[in-house]
Amino acid sequence: MVDRLSSLRGQDRAVSLLRRYFETGNVPAGLLFHGEEGTGKEKAALAFLAGLLCRNRIEDGACGECPDCRLLSSGTHPNLLSISPENHFIQIAEVRRLKEELSLKAFSDRPRAALICPADRMTIQAANALLKTLEEPPPETHLLLVAHRLSRLPPTIVSRCQKIPFRTMPAETVEEILGALQAKGKRHSPAALRAAAACAGGSPGRALLLLEEMEEGRKAWVGLFSRQDPQAVFAAGEAWRKAGDREAQAAVPLSVARDLALLSSGGKADIINEDFRDALCTIAGRKTGEGWTRKFRELLSMSRLPPQAQKRLALEAFLFGLHGKD
């Protein structure tokens, strides 16, 4: 099944720009979808591509029923090409192969499209190789670039594309999106949904990655902050090591440390882990607001260390040190 533009949540400006291209029929040769990772850029690019290739396009994009839509759904449409990193970066050889395929006659009378995602992983040599195609594209050919970091693309590439910006979303919108997705898969508690949305920086994709950890890890981390349990500390250190540089590993302890810093300052703080407020209020009183802020910063610095044995030892030292004097 192909997506339509209406399936995108929280990106009204981007959807409006893409619909305008459909309405006018004036689709640029190069489109650059850019913004934070997990905000719907690739989904939007694929929905727009589906509309370009569809024979019975509607206002919202592809009809989903014509032969071209069925080919696209099966992943076998001959007029759609794509490249993505094989070993972290998109190399010049991949771009050259794409250019060679685009130089050949199209398989059908539909436009041809190439999706490059994420385009900000192109090497300088690969980007330079793509530049000529962006400047002089073959007839009825469209290049769609998806980039998480616009600054990592050469200005010459950026200037030759029409930009489609994707914004981060309010936590409430992210939470709504997570709730809507629950009907299609594993269900999570409302508290876990709220915590994941609050820690995701406005990115639904990032929130999805955090959900499992928020569901299963928050109680354990509140316990680690609450009392000194050597066995639990060593288990947390081992889990930290096994997780490598996975972003979710730091999200829960950082959310707990943040909440403690806010609660220790007094007042009715708007905390992330609201369902653990009573336990956190008890822990918060053990240090000053300044003390918990220092612990938060210490944990944040530790989370940025490369995944190695020292990172595990640093976490264990941090957890044992939590219960000393401020």
Summarised one tens digit per residue, pLDDT across range 51-77 is 999 999 998 899 999 999 999 999 899
CATH of 5-166, one of 3.30.465.10, 3.40.50.620, 3.40.190.10, 3.40.50.300: 3.40.50.300
Structure token digits, residue 57: 């396009």
Structure token digits, residue 161: 């594309």
Residue 245 has pLDDT above 60, yes or no: no
pLDDT band of residue 192 (cuts 50, 70, 90) is very high
Residue 306 has pLDDT above 80, yes or no: no
DSSP 125-176: HHHHHHHHHHHSPPTTEEEEEEES-GGGS-HHHHHTSEEEEE----HHHHHH
Residue 40 has pLDDT above 90, yes or no: yes
Helix (H, G, I), strand (E, B) or coil at 82: strand
Mean pLDDT of 117-138: 94
Structure token digits, residue 326: 């401020």
pTM: 0.86
CA distances from 226 to 232, 278, 283, 323, 324 (A): 12, 12, 6, 8, 12
Residue 325 has pLDDT above 60, yes or no: no
What's phi and psi for 5, nearest 5 deg? -60, -30
**What pLDDT score does 149 carry?**
94
Distance, CA of 23 to CA of 238 (rounded, Å): 55
Task: Specify the DSSP element, H or E, that contains 210.
Answer: helix 204-226
Percentage of the chain with pLDDT > 90?
66
Distance, CA of 261 to CA of 167 (rounded, Å): 29
CA distances from 167 to 115, 147, 203, 207, 285 (A): 21, 13, 9, 15, 38
**What pLDDT score does 51 carry?**
94
At a CB cut-off of 8 Å and minimum separation 6, what does 75 contact? none
Distance, CA of 265 to CA of 4 (rounded, Å): 47
How confident is the prediction for the chain on average, in pLDDT?
90
**What pLDDT score does 244 carry?**
61
What type of residue sits at position 265?
S
145 contacts 32 by C-beta, under 8 angstroms? yes
DSSP β-ladder status, 141-147 and 112-116: parallel
29 or 87: which leads in pLDDT: 29
Structure token digits, residue 35: 């913004």
**What pLDDT score does 180 carry?**
86
What's phi and psi for 312, nearest 5 deg? -65, -45
Residue 183 has pLDDT above 70, yes or no: no
pLDDT band of residue 213 (cuts 50, 70, 90) is confident
**What pLDDT score does 326 carry?**
55
**What pLDDT score does 215 carry?**
87
| Delimiting residues of CATH 3.40.50.300 domain(s) in the chain | 5-166
Distance, CA of 313 to CA of 278 (rounded, Å): 30
